[in-house]
A and B are shown apart, each in its own frame.
Chain A
């Protein structure tokens, strides 16, 4: 494109590499989904919970009838990870929120600029 002609040369990715990666990515997705789906992709209906099912049917919590102890652990672990990461992310939000407020205080006040604009016709600025 014309407007790019006199812009600086920057190292980028070659179109061939991009094309090969794109084909590779789609191929990976196709193989993964083919492997995961087996012969039946849409079996959601089979497992949809009916809230009326009593006492340990498909409709109850996954814990009921679970016989795999490490799945219990996995879910307890991810609960802990959610809470710990959540608190950490909250800390990050507050640190950045605070930093942004300090940075904003260093910037020009929008009101100030309006006053300066008035000053061009001879008015006085503070």
Chain B
């Protein structure tokens, strides 16, 4: 494994990230098999129909509130947590990083702004904890998760909600609002999967979010990106995943405009019409991107386990061979 100036998150942060990802993926798979039930009928059936899926969705919702509560308390009660607030506040440099990224793609800039760099090479001090995208992700996902939790709790018991609003349609409208609200996050997560899985230097997954900084030695790679070798499959795989990500985002965006009835009919109906076939393919492409994200998240954790094992082996061999003055091999 290359040492790419990664190891910026604590072990608690990396574990939290994995648990949050698992929980949010489960919420997406259950929630959107309800909202887009005619496109994702197979997913709905696979998870036990409307009854099974709503139960799973509630279990995952409970998990989400626990995780949000855990994180909020930890951030407020610890020095490390409070000190991180400064690191996530967007600055003028983040705006400049976005503009420079556009320039970079157009060929008008030679390199990416430090606030955009995922690959830091040898110059790690100048690279902030989070890129401008990372800061955006923290803020947008935090606001989304908060609003989704509040609206989700409101519709947890429809009869309870009706006590407040007096009509069934108000309760149904809240269900629609909750589903449409999640679409922003659904699209954001597809982009997040693409951004952190298909950077050429980190392909197939960026280890920053999985290997905690306490396990990364303080020495950093000297070279820059031109010293690295591109994976042979990167070109094909990143193009396919980029296309699927775009198709997925466009499809759930269009689907969110059409699907605003009460999400789950009593009897499942597979939608008709050729234009609907396109939407069905597209939304399934988006769900596939999420599945890839789930697999990459598990792979990231596998990398951590391997990394820990390798460190342990190095310590072991260090103790046995270094006694006679030799240096342990890498």
On A, residues with C-beta under 8 Å from B are 1-8, 10-14, 17-18, 20-22, 24-29, 32-33, 35-38, 40-51, 58-68, 71, 74-75, 78-79, 81-83, 85-86, 89-90, 92-104, 106-110, 112-113
Contact = CB atoms under 8 A, between A and B. Distances in A.
B106 to A, nearest CB: 8
B95 interface: no
B252 to A, nearest CB: 8
Contacts of B71: 21, 25
B170 to A, nearest CB: 5
Interface stretch (B25-33, B61-69, B86-94, B274-282): B61-69
Interface SS of chain B: helix, strand, loop or mixed? helix
Contact of B177 (A28, A37, A48, A74): A74
A13 B172 contact: no
A62 B257 contact: no
Nearest to B107: A102
B272 interface: no
9 contacts: A3-B311, A4-B311, A11-B80, A29-B63, A33-B153, A48-B50, A79-B180, A100-B200, A103-B200
Contacts of A49: 261-262, 264-266
Q: Is the interface of A mostly helix, strand, loop or mixed?
A: helix
A110 B232 contact: yes
B327 interface: no
Interface of B: 10-12, 50-51, 54-55, 58, 61-63, 65-74, 77-81, 98, 101-102, 104-105, 107, 112, 116, 119, 133, 149, 153-154, 156-160, 165-177, 180-181, 183-184, 187-188, 190-191, 194-195, 198-201, 213-215, 217-218, 225-232, 234-235, 238, 242, 245-246, 249-250, 252-253, 256-257, 260-262, 264-267, 269, 308, 311-312, 314-315
B199 A82 contact: no
B214 A8 contact: yes
Nearest to A114: B232
Contact of A36 (B77, B156, B171, B198): B156
B261 A4 contact: no
Given A40-B160, A103-B200, 15 more contacts: A10-B214, A25-B65, A37-B160, A40-B157, A50-B265, A59-B262, A60-B261, A62-B173, A67-B167, A71-B174, A81-B184, A90-B250, A94-B105, A97-B194, A104-B235
B230 A110 contact: yes
Contacts of A60: 261
Contact of B160 (A38, A65, A83, A94): A38
A106 B157 CA distance: 55
Residue picked from B74, B119, B311, most chain A C-beta under 10 Å: B74
Contacts of B68: 25, 28
Contact of B157 (A1, A11, A38, A98): A38
A65 B242 CA distance: 42
A84 B190 CA distance: 16
A104 B159 contact: no
A67 B253 CA distance: 27
B66 A26 contact: yes
A79 B160 CA distance: 26
A12 B169 contact: no
Contact of B119 (A29, A65, A93, A103): A103
Given A25-B73, A90-B246, A107-B226, A12 B256 contact: no
Nearest to A96: B195
Given A3-B315, A18-B12, A107-B201, A37 B157 contact: yes
Contact of B253 (A20, A75, A86, A103): A86
B50 A61 contact: no
Contact of A47 (B172, B214, B226, B308): B172
A61 B260 contact: yes
Contact of B154 (A36, A100, A106): A36
Contacts of A45: 51
Contacts of B79: 11
Contacts of B256: 79, 82
A27 to B, nearest CB: 7
Given A37-B156, A92-B133, A99 B105 contact: yes
B198 A100 contact: yes
